[in-house]
Amino acid sequence: MKQKKNFSVYLLLFTGVFAAFVSSCEKSDDENDNDSMFTDSRDDNVYQTVSLGDQVWMAENLKYLPSVTSSGGLSNSSPFYYVYGYQGTDVNDAKATDNYNTYGVLYNWPAAINACPPGWRLPTDADWEELTTYLGGANYCAGKLRTSGTAENGTGLWAAPNSEATNESGFSALPGGHVYIFRDEGSYVHLGKYGYWWSATENNSDDVWYRRIDYNKTNVYNNLSPKRWGYSVRCIKN
């Protein structure tokens, strides 16, 4: 009788532990599902996300667009938002363009630093460094970040040769170009060939670190840029 009682106790304990394990697994699966998609409550844009090492990144360029200006809107201190090729000021018209829907928004740095939704932020230079290190180093990992194929053969948006592009990371980097400023005049350049993304790390009152990926290189470059130039934004989860 005593043995039977002990067996019942063990059975109950085992059942409880197994149920807790299943519950834990189900919770983990749910959390992973939640991590793969994010909806920005400010404008209802939906973003794919990707976990890379200890980081969670948006797998798309940010599309938050509270206002829009032409490439001639320039400032180191006031926020400006651009859509590649668009030279007007109507947000709805800008959002109707193919470039907005494919590449997202270009931001000067004063706009970029506050553009990410709650729970997300503009990545620091150290965040970018952690990402490239995780993927094998900045000299080798650009292909792991770029979407594969080329515009010429209809399977991608990068110009040929799109060297060693596999997008095995799931980051899905696109060549969104940027707002280039020469002699105080701004213009849209390099769509299809280069992608530029801001960091949150200032070098001084005028310059900020950014990352660049080229269509024909395996490197992810870091360099300094004036704050008034227009680059894409990838948000990282807090």
pTM, 2 dp: 0.84
d(CA 97, CA 83): 8
Question: Among candidates 198, 191, 197, 196, which has minimal Cα distance to 158?
Answer: 191
- At 30-69, the pLDDT tens digits run 333 345 999 999 999 999 999 999 999 999 999 999 999 9
What burial letters (b/e) apply to 124-142, b meaning 16+ CB within 10 Å?
Answer: ebebbbbbbeebeebeebb
Confidence (pLDDT) at 35: 53
pLDDT digits (tens, 9 = 90+) for 81-115: 999 999 999 999 999 999 999 999 999 999 999 99
- Taking the CA of residue 85 as centre, how many other CA atoms within 13 Å lie in the half-sphere pointing to its CB? 16
pLDDT at residue number 17: 38
Q: Name the most confidently modeled range: 9-13, 125-129, 149-153.
A: 125-129
Residue 5: pLDDT band by 50, 70, 90 thresholds?
very low
